Structure 1
Amino acid sequence: MIRNDDSQNVNLANIENYITRSTIRQFLLQIWSAEMIATKYRYFVEILNNGNRIYLERPGRLNKGCDFVIYIENQFLWGNGNDRPPAHEFIFNDLNSKKQILNTQEWSSLLNAIEVIFNCGNYNDTLPYTSNLPNIGLEYELLLKLLRWFFIEQDLTYWSGTGREMLYQGILNV
């Protein structure tokens, strides 16, 4: 459940309109540079097929200017029922579970889908890789759209581009 607070709710335009790291970063920074001082924001950035949303809250806990926290509506919850942000560990644990069950060809197909997201590709371009995979753990849509925002988070935190690559290498090493 989305925490009830005084955050300003904003629906962001489809991120898939921006197809490079640079244009994604420029788009977000332009939006964020227009924020009102001392105001909390909640940006709804993805709608999943089940109706739940991925959203960002700003400012983030680290208060580094571009920091944000990623949430998935009704997916990971605190004891009080409020949404809890997923950690990279959730992704790695899910990928480990998938790797244990998927055969080599299926695992390769999932890695191809992740590569599309890593390269700022459109989520729909991942469907040929995931549509016939068995359902294990997190839904593929959730996994890939969450990874998109983890990659974007890394791009904004590590301007030199190393964060995105570190996360991707971690995924490849699962």
Structure 2
Amino acid sequence: MEQYLIQDENNMYTFKDGIKKVGKTFYYNPTKKPERGYATEEIAKDAVKKLMLHNNVGNLGHSFKVVEGVKDNTCYMIMESTTNTIIDENCFIKESETRWFFIGSTGHNDRRYISSYSQKKAEEVIKTLEALNINLNAGFKFYITEYKDVKYDGEVVFKAIENKGSKLLIN
């Protein structure tokens, strides 16, 4: 089910009853992670109206917006097929004009942080990586897979990529 969330001006999350009146004073307590979502955008907009009413009466000065949440709880990872490694948006590190490093991992665990994404964000990351043209010239091919399909433990893969004229050499 699609989920709509409410964020404030600082990209913190709240919900319809996020502003409470205690006595004559209004209190607002946002969270970093969403606690509640709404099934439709219209329901979320109605919740924002209630928040704005309390916000204005309490003279709190916040602003709120409805944002689209993750459609499901599935997380995705980006894989590179020629090295069979998990990568993220920071997999290419530029050392100089002619030398980069490629970093990936053959698995994930609590000691080896690797980004997982929503499907939409993973697609955006792949487009960004492909725009670098390093990957295309070096023969890297990226694809998206579900987090649960990636093995739990693995090793770090670290490769140097050097621009030698019209070719990229991978060490």
Interval of TM-score (by shorter of Structure 1 and Structure 2): under 0.3
> TM-score, length-normalised on structure 2?
0.25
More helix by share: 1
> TM-score, length-normalised on structure 1?
0.25
